[in-house]
Amino acid sequence: MNLFLDALAWLVDPANWTGPGSIPQRTWEHLWVSALVLVIASVIALPLGAIVGHTGRGREPAVMVSGGLRALPTLGVLTLFGIWIGIGLAAPVIALVILAIPPLLAGAYAGFESVDRRTIDAARAMGMRELQVVGKVELPLGLPIVVGGIRSATLQIIATATLAAYIADEGLGRFIFAGLKTRDYGEMLGGSILVILLALVIDGCFALTQRVVVPAGVRMTRAADLRSRPTRSRAATGRPDTEGNRQ
Residue 135 has pLDDT above 60, yes or no: yes
- C-beta of residue 53 within 8 angstroms of C-beta of residue 109: yes
Question: Residue 230 — very low, low, confident or very high, per pLDDT cuts 50/70/90?
Answer: low
Q: If you write DSSP's letter for every residue of 18-50 in order, what string do you get?
A: SSTT-HHHHHHHHHHHHHHHHHHHHHHHHHHHH
Find the helix packing angle between 185-212 and 2-12, rounded to 10°.
70
- Residue 113 CA to residue 142 CA, distance in Å, equals 8
Residue 177 has pLDDT above 50, yes or no: yes
Pseudo-torsion of CA 199, 202, 207, 213, nearest 10°? Answer: -150
Question: Residue 243 — very low, low, confident or very high, per pLDDT cuts 50/70/90?
Answer: very low
> What does pTM read for this prediction?
0.81
* Model confidence pLDDT, tens digit, residues 63-78: 787 777 777 777 788 8
Comparing 5-9, 39-43, 189-193, 237-241, the range with the smallest average pLDDT is: 237-241
DSSP 134: I
* pLDDT score, position 203: 93
86 SS3 class: coil
Go through the domains of the chain in sequence order and give each one's CATH number: 23-228 (1.10.3720.10)
* Model confidence pLDDT, tens digit, residues 17-61: 988 888 999 999 999 999 999 999 999 999 998 888 888 787 778
